Amino acid sequence: MICLLLGVPYEDRERFQTLGQTLLSNTRPLEEVAAAQEGLQEYLRGLAAHKRKQPQDDILSRLAGRGDLSPREAATTGVMLLVAGHESTANMIALSTALLLEHPEQIARLADPAAVPGAVEELLRHLTIVHSGLSRVALEDVELGGIEIKAGEGVIALISTANRDEETFGGPDHRPPGKLDLDRDAHRHLAFGFGVHQCLGQSLARAELQIALATLFRRLPGLQLAVPRDELRFSDGLFYGMPSLPVRW
């Protein structure tokens, strides 16, 4: 879907997927990350130059055709949209599927079309695939949660921790936030950010998740994990995710 919207050839997905995973990795050497960044830039610059000459009805053509963006700026924006729009949703679909297969009693909720949007919000809250945290520096002395933070001290705000807040997500019956509950009202989660700093692709991501998960479990009602839970492989980068999900049905 992100290839279609951006105007990126789908047959190139293996190339940009490999580069994107390297770019977002927390464990790869810095020189590999830098090389992946430049590789994606080079790829999108060449594609943007082609779109400038032969524009089509896609986002990259519009970026390339803007007079106020340099070729590098257009390519940089394209890299951000491509990587964020592909890696985040692909990992979220895999993680959601694995989590639901561990809680088969809740999968039935996806059979009700009216319940699917709320179920996806709970999955977004529970999984919170951005685990890197937001780094900030205090400009003045401040007390936060009973702890004094001095001016100049660093703070890391973890979105995943906020999404497990007892007061916000505990509910009237004190359901623990650490437990998956597809009936929970999870709409105040911060998986897409907050205020003006929200993900611009969140509407697309929600639609993709709702369609993918509801369709998957409707068409493959006997879906199961093909390996024990402790044998699943998880990736640790900007987006917490899975390189693959072995299943059987």
Residues 54-76 have pLDDT tens digits of 999 999 999 999 888 888 888 88
pLDDT at 203: 94
The pLDDT of 109-137, averaged and rounded, is 92
**Confidence tier at 173 by pLDDT (50, 70, 90):** low
**Look-up of token digits 């205020």:** 195
The pLDDT tens digits of the residues spanning 137-158 come to 999 999 988 999 999 999 998 8
pTM of this prediction?
Answer: 0.88
pLDDT at 71: 82
> How large is the C-alpha radius of gyration of the chain?
20
**How many percent of the chain have pLDDT more than 70?**
98
**Confidence tier at 108 by pLDDT (50, 70, 90):** very high
For residue 19, what are the CA distances in angstroms to 51, 57, 107, 181, 199? 22, 26, 34, 35, 22
Going by C-alpha positions, the residue among 83, 174, 92 that lies closest to residue 126 is: 92
